[in-house]
Amino acid sequence: MSVEIDLSGKVAIVTGAGSGIGRATARLYAEAGATVIAADRADSVHETPAGNPAIVAHQCDTADEASVAALVARAVDEFGRLDIFYANAGIASVPHSFWDSGPEDWTEVLRVNLIGPALAIKHAAPVIVKQGGGAIVCTASVAGLRSGAGPASYSASKAGVINLVQTAAQQLAGTGVRVNAICPGLIETGMTKGAYDYARANDKMSKIGQVNPTRRGGQPEEIAGAALFLASPLASYVNGHALVVDGGLSSSHPLSPGELSHNYSGPRED
């Protein structure tokens, strides 16, 4: 029996929708029947609708409070409601070295990756509460679960997102608003473009994702699928949760494939 997720009549906002996970999610929400405001500070957000009238582009800084308030207001003013807010916008840490990072580097990463989702919850939740409930989803990362998956400031910001959705879910108890996070693993996006370009140019694509049991990197559409689930009635009892979508990467402490002593090698007879 097949089950289709139907978001007809729903209005969604997706940030970081100028590329990658955000763009894939905006398009998937629209495919499921939602009206979508795709938001990003990059000019590329105007390419996201790709002729689909169910998606409208909105260029803004998604970590600026006045801009986030205006974004939510646009949903209400133009479409009469807001049911889903996917706070996906994020940036990587530059420089990557902990020792080379200054306060200004930490400030910008935390502003975009953590304060942005906090503002999304602050301004979207009251609107969603008034209409009886809905879903807020935030992008965290496996880097927020433990060390080893990203630079220090990026990892700390994503750990903050995981705690943010737990705290928000508690503070919104009884309102009908669910708040969850997604923790992607290695996904092919603009943030990981350098690694993927290098691997392709040097015939090393087999190295991408080699330490997770799925043995490959992920695609934006695979995270979009998780975002669709969390926004849908199928996730009606999922709240304050960080859903890991990483090919199994975080299921184990890191070891190289050669160090694993129990890799499956096919059926055997004893």
The domain that holds 100 is classified in CATH as 3.40.50.720
Rg of the chain's alpha carbons, rounded to an integer?
19
Domain count, the chain: 1
Section 222-227 average pLDDT? 96
Q: Looking at residues 70-86, what average pLDDT do you find?
A: 98
pLDDT tens string 16-44: 999 999 999 999 999 999 999 999 999 99
* Enclosing domain of residue 156: 11-187+218-248
pLDDT at 1 over 50: no
Taking 70 as the threshold, does the pLDDT of residue 198 lie above it? no
Q: How far is it, in rounded angstroms, from Cα 236 to Cα 244? A: 18
Burial class (CB in 10 A: 0-12, 13-18, 19+), 51: exposed
Asked if residue 212 belongs to a domain, the reply is: no
Q: Would residue 83 count as lying in a domain?
A: yes
The answer to which of 92-101, 136-145, 147-156, 221-230 has the lowest mean pLDDT is 92-101
Specify the pTM: 0.89
Catalytic residue among 29, 154, 196, 264: 154
Q: Are 4 and 31 in contact (CB under 8 A)?
A: no
Residue 237 is a catalytic residue: no
Whether residue 263 is contained in a domain is answered as no
* pLDDT score of 226: 97
